[in-house]
Chain A
Amino acid sequence: MRKRSPLQKLLISIIAILMSVTLILNVIQSTRPTESQMGEGVRFYAQIQYALVQRPLYAITSFVQDVSTLWSTMEENKKLREQIDLIAAYQSRLEEAYRDIEDLKQLNQLSLSLSEASTISATVIQRSMDSFSHSIILDVGSNDGVEQGDAVISNLGLLGKVVEVSEKTSVVLLLTTELDINKISVKIQIDPTKTSEAILERYDPNTKSYSLKLLDTNSSITTGMKVITSAAGGLFPSGLLVGVVNHVETLPNTIGLKILVTPAADFYDLNYVLIVKRGSSE
């Protein structure tokens, strides 16, 4: 038998140790801390990478961007000052709206409003850089109140949901994944008072749109209608913007319509996100 070189022996030893640790941790599933060890490598690496590489790089690119747009800063400041003056008025109107909601809930004996939700701010510390795992890792975890299944949104719309939570980090699976685990209850806003329920089945990379299945063929769906989450599924709070209808097609030989929806969220610029939790019942 041909002898192995020292380098081969060293590499085989390292790989054997890594595989053994992975397999042993897979077999031992009796305790919660052991189960979480499988992802510790991912989380540790993500935090190290964020601290040593991503954060300094982001600081540099932000500085360069700010310097390059310095000349338009004065105009932006003027607009922002005008908006700041209006914040006080919006704040009082918002508080008045909350009081009205509470009054209506008491009148109708409702204990929970489906649109109530609290949010947790998070920073993206790692994003997958390959074509098959559409996931990001956030710097908040169970210590901050994050739970599996929570919705994640950006300032533009729904991004995905939390699939794995550790104490300090969370893994979010984006809606652009083709894995068949992202069926979400949504509703299409036909007009300000009427909506139609649908199921978001998956993201189609060929049409670059979400594919919805609408069961109620009596509803007249047209392009341009907004699609928001429905709380009927029990997972996400109601009212999170998913996208806008861009194509409606009658399915041959089956009931229902196939609807394509352009995503509202931007899946390119992902630095700061919000985790949305449904409000708890009183």
Chain B
Amino acid sequence: MSKFIYLILCFLADLILSQIFPVDYALYRLNFIPHIGLIGLMLVARELDLGTALIMAFGFGLFLDLTHFGYFMMNAFVFTLTIWVLRQWSNQVNESIIELLVLGVLTIFVKELLIFGILHLFNASHMSFLVWFTHWQFLSLLGNLPLMGLAVYGYHLVEGFLSNKDRRRRQGEKTLWMKMLNPYE
């Protein structure tokens, strides 16, 4: 439940940042698209088994599809595939902050590249790769780096909270067990 709330807060942060940094549809400016929600999903999905991670990714993508006007099931499909690709790489990555940042950048790039590829596959876009990378990706990847640090810090806070909660529960169980063994003390 704590991790679910953490994911909700990450997507809420995306919402807030997207209002502060709106997209320029005409591509005269470099665009920054926040991806804290995706990074949060990546961090949570690494700890879950593959099936649960894919289902969770599909669920979040479907939620975005149902609440935003656009191609239906695009986000659901792309999120699921991105998390699947991430899980193939995640086993090679440790818990150091640098490796997590690199993994986060790759996750964002893979997700956006999948969307770019799908649009070109169905002839829905004629944008060149260079224009796509310079106007949609470059600033997004750069700008999401500090946000990734915050997301990782937030995730560590959640993990610390959960491990403290687990430790207190086990201490309580140990106390109860000792009381059962020595009822007259």
Identify the A interface with B (CB < 8 A). 4-5, 7-8, 11-12, 14-15, 18-19, 22, 39, 41-42, 45-46, 49, 53-54, 57-58, 61, 126-135, 137, 164, 171, 174, 176, 178-179, 203-206, 208, 263, 266-270
Contacts and interface: CB of A to CB of B under 8 A. Distances in A.
Candidate in B14, B55, B68 with the most chain A CB atoms within 10 angstroms: B68
Interface stretch (B25-33, B82-90, B166-174): B25-33
A206 B70 contact: no
Interface in B24-70: 24-29, 31, 33-34, 48-49, 51-52, 55-56, 58-59, 62, 66-70
Nearest to B64: A130
19 contacts: A15-B55, A15-B58, A15-B62, A42-B69, A53-B19, A57-B16, A129-B33, A130-B33, A131-B33, A131-B132, A135-B69, A164-B69, A176-B27, A178-B126, A178-B127, A204-B126, A205-B125, A206-B126, A269-B22
A164 B127 CA distance: 26
Interface residues of B, number: 47
A129 B74 CA distance: 14
Contacts, number: 126
B20 A132 contact: no
A19 B126 CA distance: 31
A64 to B, nearest CB: 11
Given A22-B66, A131-B112, A11 B56 contact: yes
A127 to B, nearest CB: 6
Given A132-B119, A132-B125, A57 B69 contact: no
B162 interface: no
Contact of A131 (B19, B34, B136): B136
Contacts of B128: 206
A54 B19 contact: yes
B23 A128 contact: yes
Given A22-B66, A131-B116, A176-B27, 13 more contacts: A8-B51, A11-B56, A42-B69, A53-B12, A53-B16, A129-B22, A130-B68, A132-B125, A135-B69, A164-B69, A171-B69, A208-B27, A269-B22
Contacts of B12: 53
B131 A41 contact: no
Contact of B68 (A8, A22, A42): A42
B52 A8 contact: yes
B124 interface: yes
Contacts of A53: 12, 15-16, 19
